[in-house]
Chains A and B, each alone.
Chain A
Amino acid sequence: MTDTALNVPMAVSEELESPTRRALRRLFQRKGAVVGLIVIATFILLALFAPLIVPYDPIATSWSLVRKPPSALHWFGTDDLGRDILGRVIYGARASLVAGAISVGIALSIGVPLGLLSGYRGGFIDALISRITDAMLAVPFLILAIALAAFLGPSLGNAMIAIGVSATPIFIRLTRGQAMSVKVEDYVEAARAMGNPRWRIALFHILPNIMPALLVQATLSIAAAIIAEAALSFLGLGQQPPQPSWGSMLNAAQRFLTNAPWMALWPGLAIFLVVLSFNLVGDGLRDALDPRER
């Protein structure tokens, strides 16, 4: 009895809180997600203000500084061409973060409309889109990305297209499934009864209600896309030298493991930290947006 009485004001305040506010409050209660957000924000700031922070040109070579271990002047040491590794790691964040965001942007902009069409319309279109999605999902993500990047030609832009296209079927399948479960809800039925056209129902009634699931998947997909970009650059299919990218730095480092192991440590650690942070935020968002935890 006492418990119920005490819980009433809490329940009322929860009811009054907007869904976005509630999700944000819950997200910030998760330590892992907060740490992830801080790390991501730090890397974004470093990438944005790289020219102001980095004292050395990340491309300029210096024969007198070849493979110097970490020191007060070069905190992360120098690489096989005498370039400052810290500077290259900071500039490399640009390629990774941009590739993560743009690839997932491509996957969302193709996957969500197709998934909505498939899930909401049903019938032949649904069957066709679903079989194409199955076919794409049958080819492992990275193998499809490598094959596409190879056929498009090596460059960061093409790598982003290849990763984006390879990640698209996940978003088609997710959007389709979500749209199918939402379209039978009363508020969608009501919108239909009011005579709203199909596109309006899909865009203004279904899409906003499936956003939480899409947001979680997008965050986790950015982590996968960053690893994929590093993998493609490692293989020489992404960012082209001398422009810095974490993957191509690791490729160069592999040849000098015996006498310059620091060349491999820092870019790998940077990929690990950023990917870990996106995974932490993705996990946090999933918990924060889970309606069962209200």
Chain B
Amino acid sequence: MLNFLARRIVQLIPTLFFVSILIFSLQHLLPGDPALIMAGEERDPAVIEQIRQQYRLDRPVPVQYVYWVKGVLSGDFGESLRIKVPVRELIAQKLPVTMQLAAMAIVIAFLIGIPAGIVSAVKKGTAWDYGANLFALWGISTPNFWLGIMLIFLFSIELGWLPASGYVPLSENWRASLASTIMPAFVLGNAIAAILMRHTRSAMLQVLESDYVRTARAKGLSERSVILKHAMRNALTPVITLGALELGTLLSGAVLTEQIFSIPGFGKLIVDAVFNRDYAVVQGVVLVTATIYITLNLIADIAYILVNPRLRA
């Protein structure tokens, strides 16, 4: 186990190194002088020169990279060009908003996806199974920005039950906070529920054909007990670790969902930064996203081994 952990962590170093190269080189994809692009409307040569020196754009590219990495390692992601606030502060402000959305989305996804997967496997070949499979196809194929717009139309405009946009922090008013985030959280959770449903179904089908389930049935246990105590517990462990890996889907989804519901989170931060050509923010956000994703992958791997005794040796 310790050997595996050490090997897995050592593997992360080159991956993170290439992530940093990838993100750093984004800025150099731009045709033309980066200082001119960063200056935007400003055409004063003195200002452009100042930008060039401030961001060390007058130095060779590898030197620029070393300075950037040094900054990142000490927690300095640079400063937003537009609002002159450190990128670190911006991320610290916006990340909790997206985390709240993501947590709600994961809860919704588990509440829908896992029961649907279990029912679909237990009642294989019946109308329940077809219904659950249709739901999964719907979840995977619906663009979340369209679903968001349709939900706003139904629940905000037609029925007037929920606010169409905006965000209230949980600490301020929990009821208003839930009302402002339930629709975007459902939009985000919908696609993941579909993926979880498929994983749960195939894991359950595999477990239901196993010897120990057959033995449990042969012992005369009730079907309910066989499914809940014997099959489900074994089928769900890999599904839960797989659920953790859906964070990438969540963060991708948050970009558009936060845009539609005007939620000031991580996703909206990246879109605003893209449109303001605020490259330091784009680089910072992408780097933090990748680091979170890599860390969660590692945790999921460890969790998978911890819950699966056969892999522990």
Binding site for B on A (CB under 8 A): 131-132, 134-136, 138-144, 146-148, 150-152, 223, 227, 230-231, 234-237, 250, 253-254, 257-258, 261, 264-265, 267-268, 271-272, 275-276, 279-280
Contacts and interface: CB of A to CB of B under 8 A. Distances in A.
Contact of B30 (A141, A151, A230, A275): A151
B271 interface: yes
4 cross-chain pairs, A with B, having the tightest CB-CB distances, nearest first: A268-B146, A135-B18, A142-B252, A276-B141
Interface in B1-26: 11, 14-19, 21-23, 26
Contact of B248 (A140, A258, A264): A140
12 contacts: A131-B14, A139-B19, A140-B248, A142-B256, A143-B285, A231-B143, A250-B149, A264-B146, A268-B149, A268-B150, A271-B146, A276-B137
Among A140, A227, A272, max chain B CB count under 10 A is at A140
Interface string B156-185: 010000000000000000000000000000
Interface stretch (B41-49, B52-60, B286-294): B286-294
Contacts, number: 127
Given A139-B23, A152-B29, A234-B145, 19 more contacts: A134-B18, A138-B290, A138-B293, A140-B293, A141-B248, A141-B252, A143-B286, A146-B270, A150-B282, A230-B145, A231-B256, A250-B149, A254-B260, A264-B149, A268-B143, A271-B143, A272-B142, A272-B146, A276-B141
A142 B30 CA distance: 19
B15 A131 contact: yes
Given A140-B248, A276-B137, A148 B153 contact: no
A261 B151 CA distance: 12
Interface string B235-275: 00000000000001101110110011000000000110011
Contact of B252 (A140, A236, A272): A140
A254 B255 CA distance: 16
B163 to A, nearest CB: 14
Question: DSSP majority for the B interface?
Answer: helix
B90 interface: no
A135 B274 contact: no
Given A138-B19, A139-B289, A234 B256 contact: yes
B150 A279 contact: no
A136 B149 contact: no
Contact of B153 (A131, A143, A144, A257): A257
Contacts of B141: 223, 272, 275-276, 279
Contacts of B146: 250, 264, 267-268, 271-272
